[in-house]
Amino acid sequence: DVIPEAAARFSQSYGGQAYSNLDAFLDAIDIVDICTPGTIHKENVLAAAAAGVPIICEKPLARHLADCQEMIDACARANVPLYVAHVVRFFPQYAKAKELLEAGQLGRPGVIRTVRTGSFPGFNPKNTYYGDFTQSGGVILDVAIHDIDYQRWCFGEVERVFARGLSFANIEKCDHALITLRFANGAIGHIEGSWAHPAGQFRTRLELTGDQGLAEWDSLDRQAMQVALKEDGQVDRHFASPTASEDDPYYQELAHFVDCIVNDATPRVTAHDALMAVKIALAAIESVRTGQVVEIAKFAEG
């Protein structure tokens, strides 16, 4: 912790050694998990890479594309693994929907809709990291990026994006965004991300459809994911998927990354995936700014 007293209090309560800077303990650890604000991810990743320490880094990988690429390149030169914590891939309902899609049970990919809404993080939007658009990137880079990554994981590369935003909290840029993605395979993605909802009403929702079925789940329903499959031209079978494991997805994510580091398991999310999530999110922000469709292949952060 940059505040040594805070680090000392934490270590007294939970154990461990308190440090006030990263360099002081890089030689003593096996893995580093970087959970700092996104604006200082790069300096921490570069330091860990130079020390040869395997890295887990929170999303977004960085605030800017050039920083993302610099981090990836530094880790590649140092032969240090870099895993980025896009945790939605580890939520059991989202993973199950992806599994159904890959197994062909939903048919040809058609439309995916996701919702991620809640209240603004913190009490004063104007005096927080999240309320400072130059640092956080706002609701699109901090919240909607979860679903940008998940939708790309399901449907593949994104060709273009169109987005609109509203501001209810009088903060810079938007705190409620609607994003439409067009994928190279012809499928369409819809994303709603918001900080504008009342406190205590955080919600996520998923609808994944193909020409042979639909998988849907809503966090407010507290039910298993519902799946409807079409057979012989009729929707004639409805069932709930088995109740998902109670294991915490954040624990599962970290356990997976440790397995990748220790046992060379195939990573579920790569640094390139994280780079593309940032690129698509920044393109969506540009679309909000200009009111125009943004082609991903042509997009370069200005």
Q: What is the pLDDT of residues 196-247, one digit of tens each?
A: 888 888 999 999 999 999 999 999 987 788 898 887 555 555 555 555 555 7
Examine the domain organization and report whether 80 and 32 are in the same domain. Answer: yes
Examine the domain organization and report whether 10 and 145 are in the same domain. Answer: no
Distance from CA of residue 151 to its chain's centroid?
A: 10
Residues of the domain holding 68: 4-85
User: How buried is residue 119: exposed, middle or buried, by Cβ count under 10 Å (0-12/13-18/19+)?
Assistant: middle
pLDDT in tens, 146-193: 999 999 999 999 999 999 998 765 555 678 999 999 999 999 999 999
Examine the domain organization and report whether 120 and 65 are in the same domain. Answer: no
Boundary (domain end) residue, out of 64, 85, 106:
85
Residue 261 within any structural domain of the chain: no
Examine the domain organization and report whether 94 and 72 are in the same domain. Answer: no
Return the number of other C-beta atoms located less than 10 Å from residue 60's C-beta. 27
The first and second tokens of residue 136, run together, are 């956080």
Examine the domain organization and report whether 143 and 214 are in the same domain. Answer: yes
Query: CATH number, domain at 105?
Result: 3.30.360.10
Examine the domain organization and report whether 109 and 235 are in the same domain. Answer: yes
User: 208: Cβ–Cβ under 8 A, 6 or more apart, which residues?
Assistant: 97, 98, 100, 101, 106, 112, 154, 214, 215, 216
Boundary (domain end) residue, out of 46, 67, 85:
85
Residue 251 within any structural domain of the chain: no
pLDDT in tens, 81-97: 999 999 999 999 999 99
DSSP-derived 3-state class of residue 111? strand
The first and second tokens of residue 269, run together, are 């999310």
Examine the domain organization and report whether 57 and 125 are in the same domain. Answer: no
Tally of structural domains, the chain: 2
What CA–CA distance (Å, rounded) separates 254 from 72? 20
CB 74 within 8 A of CB 81: no
Residue 264 within any structural domain of the chain: no
The first and second tokens of residue 201, run together, are 């009403």
Residue 257 within any structural domain of the chain: no
